[in-house]
Structure 1
Amino acid sequence: MFVGVLRFSIDIPGARSLKDKRSVVRSLKERVQGRLKVSIAEVGALDHPQRATFGVAVVSNSSTVCDQLLSSVASMAGTLPDALMTDRATEIVSFGEGGSGVMGGIEQALDNDPYDDDEDE
């Protein structure tokens, strides 16, 4: 299983208010969700009328599919007539067969719990 994550930012030079920004943000989110099976949310610069940061996530059994979907989202954002993409970062993480062998997240935190009394027995 693979999880792909994309973070990108856009500048909306013509936006003079949060209402102007919301129309661009809503339009992009609806377009992405209507065409691609991904999750997308505005995650940053929420109070700035000329800037928006998005997070996109996708899960697949293929890293290639994750990469293609995230590239498609970035392409859609890059061709907006009223906004410019200013930043983009992508990461694809492999979770192994059924998620086994994943370390660094909650599994590692549980293995290194300093309050776990089972180690003293």
Structure 2
Amino acid sequence: MVIGVLQFEILIPGAESLKDKRRVIASLKDRLHREHMVSVAEVASQDNPRLARLGLALVATDGKRAGQVLDQISAKLRNIREGQLGDMSRTIIHGDGGDAPEPNPADLDTGLLEQEMQARALRADHS
């Protein structure tokens, strides 16, 4: 199992309000989810109408496939019309692929992106 993580900023110079920002970000999140089956969440700067910091995660069977999808998404983000791509970083996490025991929640990183990924995984397991 491989987890691909992309953290990025979207600058929205024309946004006058949080409502303007939400319209742009909701459209982007929906499009990325629909076209690439990834999870996307705003993870910081929620109160800034001209800046959005987002986290995106995907699960793949191998690193090559995860990298290809992240490359496609990165190219798409560089060409969005509603805003401009700011800083971006990506991480590929390789799991052992075996029957590893469930991690102890006390041992998990408490960063915003990691919390969102864990919450979404739990919801997916229960549906």
Identify the TM-score tier after normalising by the shorter chain. Answer: 0.7 to 0.9
The SS at the match of 1:29 is helix
Give the whole-Å Cα distance in 1 for the aligned partners of 2:98 and 2:60.
Answer: 12
Q: Does 1:58 align with 2:37?
A: no
**CA separation of 1:68/1:78 partners in 2, compared to 1, >3 Å: closer, same or farther?**
same
Structure 2 length-normalised TM: 0.75
Q: Name the structure 2 match of 1:32.
A: 32
Q: Name the structure 2 match of 1:113.
A: none
Q: Residues 1-121 of structure 1: matches in 2 within 5 Å?
A: 1-98=1-98, 100=100, 106=104, 109=107
Give the whole-Å Cα distance in 1 for the aligned partners of 2:64 and 2:4.
Answer: 10
The SS at the match of 2:47 is coil
Structure 1 length-normalised TM: 0.79
Give the aligned length. Answer: 106
Percentage of pairs with the same residue: 36
**CA separation of 1:66/1:16 partners in 2, compared to 1, >3 Å: closer, same or farther?**
same
Superposition RMSD on alpha carbons, in Å?
A: 2.0
The answer for unaligned runs of 5 or more in structure 1 is 110-121
Paired AA for residue 24 in structure 1: V
Structure number, greater radius of gyration: 1
Give the whole-Å Cα distance in 2 for the aligned partners of 1:38 and 1:92.
Answer: 14
